[in-house]
Amino acid sequence: MPEGPEIRRAADALAAAVVGEPLTGVWFAFPELQPYETELTGQRIEKLETRGKALLTYFSNGRVLYTHNQLYGLWRIVDAGVMPDTKRDLRVRLETQHRAILLYSASDIVMLTPDALATHPFLQRIGPDVLDSAVTPEQVRARVLSQRFCRRRLSGLLLDQAFLAGLGNYLRAEILWQAALSPQHTAMTLDEGQLTALSDILLSLPRLSYHTRGTVDDNHHHGALFRFKVFDREGKPCERCGHPIVRTMLSSRPFFWCPHCQH
């Protein structure tokens, strides 16, 4: 499943393609959404916003389209009039004079009003978004230490969108490696230095991934780049201590780590 940084980059690309242009064609696969096709034609997409792994598309008439890709959803950008040859099921097509954005395979799609955003079950349940620049390490630290979360093992906590929205499996592994922490820890077992480091990395690493993952920069002109240190690197030497990376299953998901230097 794409994680917060991937969803945010997708939203950026979708926005660059269609924001501000009148919609010349609107199509929905689901019958409950089809009444909106006529209403939205001629309107503009004003912005696309992410909340964790959910995407919100705001229209000029006040409607908001909520979509969640879950495991199989995929957005594509094409030229107007183009219909890609694919076996995926098309769910949404929003077209302007020049470009179109298409959502395939997703099933969690609903049309909302701005007021309804506050009562949407998923949006009510999720925690602060790690890509929200207003969220600080101090706020994350308080959340880690809260009664609700302080006794949860980090291996499960970092997958829980109610804790922090936008984290997922690869970020879980990379954050715990960067913090040099075993996945079995809880906040109650961490010392002050570990808590401070973890609270900072929970924000800084997802933000680095959003800004740089997939960027090729051999000369490092733009500073640090996000690279996998442990995720999907089973058997390869740990960059910190040289011991082999281990793969196991935690919270029903593959987990990669270095037992030698993650204490």
User: For 71-102, what is each residue's pLDDT tens digit?
Assistant: 788 999 999 999 999 999 999 999 999 999 99
List pLDDT tens digits, range 186-228. 999 999 999 999 999 999 999 999 999 866 554 544 568 999 9
List pLDDT tens digits, range 36-75. 999 999 999 999 999 998 999 999 999 999 999 887 889 9
Class of domain 4-125: alpha beta
The mean of the pLDDT values for the chain is: 94
Model confidence at 243: pLDDT above 50: yes
Q: How far is CA 187 from CA 82, 158, 183, 220, 253, in A?
A: 51, 12, 11, 35, 21
pLDDT for res 72 = 85
Between CA 262 and CA 187, with CA 147 as vertex, the angle to 5 degrees is 10
B/e letters for 155-166, b = 16+ CB within 10 Å, e = fewer, are bbbbbbbebbbb
pLDDT for res 221 = 46
Domain boundaries, the chain: 4-125, 137-213+226-257
Catalytic residues: 2-3, 53, 253
Helix axis angle, 192-212 to 4-18, nearest 10°: 30
Class of domain 137-213+226-257: mainly alpha
- Identify the CA nearest to 178 among candidates 97, 262, 259: 262
Q: Which helix (H) or strand (E) covers residue 171, if one does?
A: helix 169-178
pLDDT for res 141 = 98
Query: Span 126-140, mean pLDDT?
Result: 96
pLDDT for res 207 = 97
Half-sphere exposure of 182 (CA within 13 A, CB side): 8
Q: Which helix (H) or strand (E) covers residue 177, if one does?
A: helix 169-178
The structure's pTM equals 0.90
